Amino acid sequence: MADRVLSTAALIDALADASFDRPPALVSNAHITGLGVARALAAHDVPVIALDRAGGPPSTDDDGIETVPHDGLAPPSEAIDFAGAVTYPLDDLDGFRADVEAIVEAAGTEAVAFGCMDEWALAYAEAQPDGVRLPFSGIDVVDDVLNKSKLYATCEDLGVPYPETYRLGDGPEADATPEEAADALGFPLVVKPALKREFEEAFGTNVIEVDDHESFTKVVDEAREAEIDVMAQKRVDVATGEDHSLASYVPPSGVEDALAVVGNAAVRFPRQFGTSCLVETVDAPEIEARALAVLEDAGYYGISESEFVYDAEREEFLLLDVNTRPWKWISMPVAAGANLPMAAYAAVTDAEYESDGIEPTRWVYLRDYLTLLATDDGFWDVLRGEDWGRLVSGAFETEGSLTTGVYRPSDPGPAEKLLQTAFLDREYYCSC
C-alpha cells in the first residue's frame, strides 16, 4: 500500500528497488476515478502506480523520503502499490513525457496507462512515452470523438438524436453566424466548444449558458480571440433523474466484442446538473446500440462513457457527449460484472479476462448523497433500509446489489482521508 505520494525522484528510487511479474498500470489522476480503476485492476493482482500532479512543493518526511502534498483519495488505498508526482501535462507535456519514461525505466518493465481525466488521457496519447502501452485508440481518433462538431456530424449521419446545435463562424465549416443561431434557438442558449480542453483553459468551464445577445456576443468574441471553435446549442429541457450512459470497453476487434453496461444517473448532486451521485444499471438496448454505432463509425477502441440526456420536450434521448476514458462511477460496471479496466489491461498484455455476465447493480457516492439528504428538502431517500444496514455493517461488499465510490471497510484508507479533508477549507482540483 502507498500511504504517501512521493516526489518524482523518490518514486524513481523506490521503483528501482521493486520487481514486477507483470506490467504495472499507470493510473492518473489519483482521486475517485483513479481509485475505482486501481481497485478494479488490483482485484486481478495488477500492480498499480498512481501518478498525479503535486499539491505543493516537496518536503522530506521523518524517514528521509521526499514526499509531496496531495489531497486525492487513491493513496492510501490498498489497491495502490506506489504513488508519485509527475509534471502536470497541461503545464509541460515534454516534462510529463520525460517523467513517465524515467518512471517506466526505473520499474524495469513496460507499463499500461489509464488516464482518468481528459488531460491525462490525452497526455498519454499525445506524448506516447516510451515503454507505455496505451489500451485505447490513437490521438487522431480520440480527437475526432471528443470534437463535438465531428461527433454531432456523425450523429446526423447515423440518425442518432442530439441537441439542436449550430457551429458558429463565417467559414465553410460553420452552420450559422451568431445572429442566425440566436434567432433559431432563442434565449437562454448554451455555448459549447468543439474541443472542451482549450475552452476550459480559457473560460474555466466547458459550457456557458447565456441569457441575452450581449452575453452571447461577449463569449463568442472571446472564443474567437482565443482561436477556439464554439457552437451554440439549444438549452435542453432535461428530465431530472433520466440521464443514461453507456459504459463500455470496445476492443480493437470492434463493437461486436464490446463489454458494455447502461447506467442511469438516477441522482445527481446538485440534483439537476451536478455530478453523478447514485447510478444504477438499466436495460436500454437502444441507448447501447446508438452509442456503439457512434464509436464504431469513429473507429474508437478503449474505455468510454457515452452520455445521453432525456429531452422532455422532444420525448427522446439525446447524445450529449462521449468521454474516451474512465469516469467517476467506473466501479459500477465493475461491480455489475463488466470490469472495463481489466478488459482493457488484458487486451495489451498477456493477462486474460472474461466477464461472467452482468448483474443489476447500484453505485453511490456517499459524501454527495448524504449532503443531498441533509440540505435538499425536496429530495427523498431512494435507498432502502437493508441498503443502509449493509452499508453500516460493511456487508454490501459481499452481498446485495450496492457498491460505493470511496467507502469500503476492506479498504478504509480512502474514506478515512475523505473524512479528514472534507471539513478543510480547500478542495481537490477534480470532482471525479
Asked if residue 191 and residue 70 are part of one domain, the reply reads no
Asked if residue 90 and residue 46 are part of one domain, the reply reads yes
Q: Note the pLDDT of residue 391.
A: 98
Asked if residue 173 and residue 260 are part of one domain, the reply reads no
Q: Note the pLDDT of residue 273.
A: 78
Asked if residue 213 and residue 69 are part of one domain, the reply reads no
Task: Please check whether residue 145 lies inside any domain of the structure.
Answer: no
Task: Please check whether residue 428 lies inside any domain of the structure.
Answer: no
Task: Please check whether residue 418 lies inside any domain of the structure.
Answer: no
* Domain enclosing residue 123, as ranges: 8-136
How far apart CA 235 and CA 318 sit, in angstroms, is 12
Asked if residue 258 and residue 215 are part of one domain, the reply reads no
| Beta partners for residue 176, in sequence order | 168
On the question of a cis peptide bond just before residue 333, with omega within 30 degrees of 0, the verdict is: no
* pLDDT less than 70: residues of the chain: 170-172, 423-432
Say how many domains are in the chain: 3
Give me the helices (H) in 110-159, please: 118-127, 139-146, 148-158
Q: What is the CATH number of the domain that holds 15?
A: 3.40.50.20
Spatial CA neighbour of 82 closest among 96, 65, 64: 65
pLDDT digits (tens, 9 = 90+) for 131-163: 999 999 999 999 889 989 899 999 999 999 999
Asked if residue 182 and residue 129 are part of one domain, the reply reads no
Q: What is the CATH number of the domain that holds 228?
A: 3.30.1490.20
Q: Note the pLDDT of residue 272.
A: 79
Question: H helices then E strands: how many in the chain?
Answer: 15, 18
Q: What is the CATH number of the domain that holds 388?
A: 3.30.470.20
Asked if residue 249 and residue 390 are part of one domain, the reply reads yes
Q: Note the pLDDT of residue 63.
A: 87
Task: Please check whether residue 276 lies inside any domain of the structure.
Answer: yes
Q: Note the pLDDT of residue 423.
A: 63
Q: Note the pLDDT of residue 263.
A: 98
Task: Please check whether residue 150 lies inside any domain of the structure.
Answer: no
Asked if residue 381 and residue 275 are part of one domain, the reply reads yes
Asked if residue 185 and residue 59 are part of one domain, the reply reads no
Domain boundary among 211, 234, 257: 234
Integer-rounded Cα Rg, in Å, for the chain is 22
Task: Please check whether residue 316 lies inside any domain of the structure.
Answer: yes
Asked if residue 211 and residue 104 are part of one domain, the reply reads no
Asked if residue 36 and residue 117 are part of one domain, the reply reads yes
Task: Please check whether residue 261 lies inside any domain of the structure.
Answer: yes
Task: Please check whether residue 153 lies inside any domain of the structure.
Answer: no
Give 240-253 as a DSSP string.
Answer: TT-EEEEEEEE-TT
In this prediction the pTM is 0.94
pLDDT digits (tens, 9 = 90+) for 162-183: 999 999 976 667 889 999 999 9
Give 169-212 as a DSSP string.
Answer: SSSTT-SB-HHHHHHHH-SSEEEEESSHHHHHHHHSSS-EEE-S
Asked if residue 129 and residue 184 are part of one domain, the reply reads no
